[in-house]
Structure 1
């Protein structure tokens, strides 16, 4: 399970961010604004992890890490909301999403663009499962600089979500109401040796393949002609085999971290 961290008091910021400020920076359209109103109660810029607040050296790619707490009106959250906040804040972000006495952690790998270091590249979002807000929090990991801290904060999210996505797949009609492809997370090491970017590349490939498997399954469910079902089944087997290959690569990388 992804750890909740006891963020240092010296890093406390505690500033409420008006939604309209996010709209301005993200050039939000009406649909995204509606999502903010429907799903978000309050956005709090909770902590600033920076050299002057946690005594770690800044790096070229990670000068600071910001911790945002989002108080939700609903359990579901449009990922475009997180992306809009990420676009508005020119630092890597870690989100704590709060709802009904529970919390989950979410983040995307965020880095300066190679073409223009004044712009940021925001990848896919990775999330933990929901846990109780009063779950005991850990002290921050001991690292040498901000880049290493960012990796230690983000890597468990990547591992956890990838583990859920790589459990044995069941067709939708075999799963109970509200059940997804996700399964409980098996704890992983805190300090992976495999580079963060490698893990993320593997995780994004698995996410894409899981979505492809689900799309093929949906086509199979709709198709009535026998010959076409045979062809779709073959396509489904190939996609599942490729997913198993990607899973094996990911698990092999994880084993090197032990």
Structure 2
């Protein structure tokens, strides 16, 4: 499915209750699981054994989960909850009414040294026809396969001509996003400012930040 080799197919339904049973019954996250998700399927298991590639140093498996939605919207908090529960890297394929959207998080081992992971950033594609959704995994190791999937899904956000590592690309993109938020906040502030001298000061700050963003 999704163009992955038949050797990776798993196609096992996972009860969505598995991910929220221990959450307090009054939790808004639990309501989101119930109200937004129809079914969850574990579609593929990408691993050294199923792909006949070298094992990764950081990535041992990539689980491909299809999340069938009741409407074309899913709160990101749901993906974070699932990522917390599963100690492997995950490729999420959201489907609804014949359309699909792919999400993947940059997932790292937690500093505690346990099996826990943390997701610092999510990237996703636009909605597309399910028939258009085809992946190729031509890389020779699990680490390389994961990096290629993240870069494919992120698109221009992680594009680099310098051969930088995936982690460096992620950090650069996070910095760019922080700067863009600062710029948006200053633009709102300037629109509300009445004093000319303050507007000039704010505009000077904006010019500096916009100049920095060009380097990203």
TM-score normalized by the length of structure 1: 0.73
1:124-143 to 2 correspondences below 5 Å: 124-135=121-132, 137-140=134-137, 142-143=138-139
> Which stretches in structure 1 are left out of the alignment for 5+ residues?
164-187, 251-258
> Is the counterpart of residue 210 in structure 1 residue 184 in structure 2?
no
* Contact 2:20-2:33 at 8 Å conserved across structures: no
CA separation of 1:88 and 1:240: change in aligned 2, threshold 3 A = farther
The separation in 2 between residues aligned to 1:10 and 1:192, in whole angstroms, is: 35
Q: Match for residue 176 of structure 1?
A: none
* Contact 1:26-1:84 at 8 Å conserved across structures: no
Question: CA offsets per residue over residues 192-233 of structure 1, 9 Å max, x none?
Answer: 822101111111122223333334444455x3x512x86367
Equivalences, count: 216
The separation in 2 between residues aligned to 1:45 and 1:232, in whole angstroms, is: 54
* Contact 1:155-1:192 at 8 Å conserved across structures: no
Q: CA deviation at 1:249?
A: 2.9
The separation in 1 between residues aligned to 2:141 and 2:199, in whole angstroms, is: 50
> Which stretches in structure 2 are left out of the alignment for 5+ residues?
none
The separation in 2 between residues aligned to 1:219 and 1:28, in whole angstroms, is: 41
> Is the counterpart of residue 48 in structure 1 residue 45 in structure 2?
yes
Q: Match for residue 102 of structure 1?
A: 99
Out of 171, 175, 178, the position equivalent to 1:201 is 171
Q: Match for residue 231 of structure 1?
A: 198
* Contact 2:12-2:43 at 8 Å conserved across structures: yes
CA separation of 1:219 and 1:118: change in aligned 2, threshold 3 A = same
The separation in 1 between residues aligned to 2:173 and 2:104, in whole angstroms, is: 13
CA separation of 1:136 and 1:113: change in aligned 2, threshold 3 A = closer
1:145-224 to 2 correspondences below 5 Å: 145-160=141-156, 162=157, 193-220=163-190, 223=192
Out of 230, 233, 242, the position equivalent to 2:209 is 242
CA separation of 1:73 and 1:119: change in aligned 2, threshold 3 A = same
Which protein is richer in strand relative to its size? 2
CA separation of 1:73 and 1:110: change in aligned 2, threshold 3 A = same
* Contact 1:72-1:98 at 8 Å conserved across structures: yes
The separation in 2 between residues aligned to 1:21 and 1:6, in whole angstroms, is: 28
Q: Match for residue 172 of structure 1?
A: none
CA separation of 1:114 and 1:238: change in aligned 2, threshold 3 A = same
CA separation of 1:153 and 1:75: change in aligned 2, threshold 3 A = same
Q: CA deviation at 1:38?
A: 2.1
CA separation of 1:102 and 1:56: change in aligned 2, threshold 3 A = same
